[in-house]
Chain A
Amino acid sequence: GIQVEQSPPDLILQEGANSTLRCNFSDSVNNLQWFHQNPWGQLINLFYIPSGTKQNGRLSATTVATERYSLLYISSSQTTDSGVYFCAVAPRETSGSRLTFGEGTQLTVNP
């Protein structure tokens, strides 16, 4: 099956700092999503981005499908950004968008 690697596994920031999270995947995809899982377990859908660039407030994401990676940018980080960030992909050859998740990046933003 498709492999999804996220880096770094852990990241500690001071409030106000910027960061970049990376997601590498091993095959062509027709679905790529970034999620933020909060301390209560809720998965917040950040971006649906199988290709291209999108921005939403302090967050932006870029997927370079031909090179099989995606980046999530967090600017001016806040303590509420803490949590686990997951990248999930669905391979192009499958139907039904069965998402495979990476191992996540644990982000801690200190005040």
Chain B
Amino acid sequence: GAVVSQHPSWVICKSGTSVKIECRSLDFQATTMFWYRQFPKQSLMLMATSNEGSKATYEQGVEKDKFLINHASLTLSTLTVTSAHPEDSSFYICSARGGGQFDSPLHFGNGTRLTVT
């Protein structure tokens, strides 16, 4: 149980275009999901917390107008990278807490590798 599905697994786009990444909890409901970004040879950094039915909470330094998050249902959160530039090329991973319990582990999707040309 507690499977998080992320789509697409990789995407290549041209500079200036927008890209949408989907994160789904397949067998549980997730009122909260988390979006992380990982640059090569680095650790995962939290970008934002996605809350179902309300605005996302962004970490310091993350542009909310560039990284649009929508959490319209209890099983789906989307991250849209708007007007992508080469420096946005990175590995984006979402996660959700399995079972919704405060003291339960977070489960991660398989990630999306974004390359902006």
Contacts and interface: CB of A to CB of B under 8 A. Distances in A.
Main secondary structure of the interface of B (DSSP, over half): strand
A45 B103 contact: no
A48 B104 contact: yes
B46 A98 contact: yes
B32 A100 contact: no
A101 B111 contact: no
Contact of B106 (A40, A97, A104): A97
A97 B44 contact: no
Interface in B26-53: 32, 34, 36, 38, 42-46, 49
A88 B95 CA distance: 13
A88 B97 CA distance: 14
A41 B97 contact: no
Nearest to A41: B111
Interface residues of A, number: 23
A31 B43 contact: no
A95 B51 CA distance: 13
A97 B97 contact: yes
Given A41-B91, A41-B113, A42-B111, A100 B106 contact: no
A83 B4 CA distance: 21
Contacts of A41: 38, 91, 93, 110-111, 113
Interface of B: 32, 34, 36, 38, 42-46, 49, 91, 93, 95, 97, 102-108, 110-111, 113
Interface of A: 30-31, 33, 35, 40-43, 45, 48, 50, 86, 88, 95-104
